[in-house]
Amino acid sequence: MYIQSELSFLCRLVALKSAKRHHDWLEQQGVTLSSEQAITIAAVADQGELRQGDLMGLPYLNS
């Protein structure tokens, strides 16, 4: 159980760092988004069409 929790945390951290990079690029282009919006857009871009429940099941958005 502890390993699963740590792995989930690590996955979320990696996803947030990646989203931060995208977020910074968007800001340089003049687009201002919240971190959550940037993460959601990146998830949809990576996986295509997603339902709201699918998004909320992703490790970095389910908290």
Contacts of 33 (CB under 8 A, 6+ apart): 23, 26, 41
What confidence tens digit (pLDDT) does each residue in 10-55 have? 777 777 777 778 778 878 888 887 777 777 777 788 887 888 888 7
Residues 6+ apart with CB under 8 A from 32: 26
pLDDT (0 to 100) of residue 62: 62
Q: Contact 42/18 with Cβ under 8 angstroms? A: yes
58 vs 12: CA distance, rounded Å? 9
Decide if pLDDT at 63 tops 60: no
Residue 55 CB-half CA count within 13 A: 16
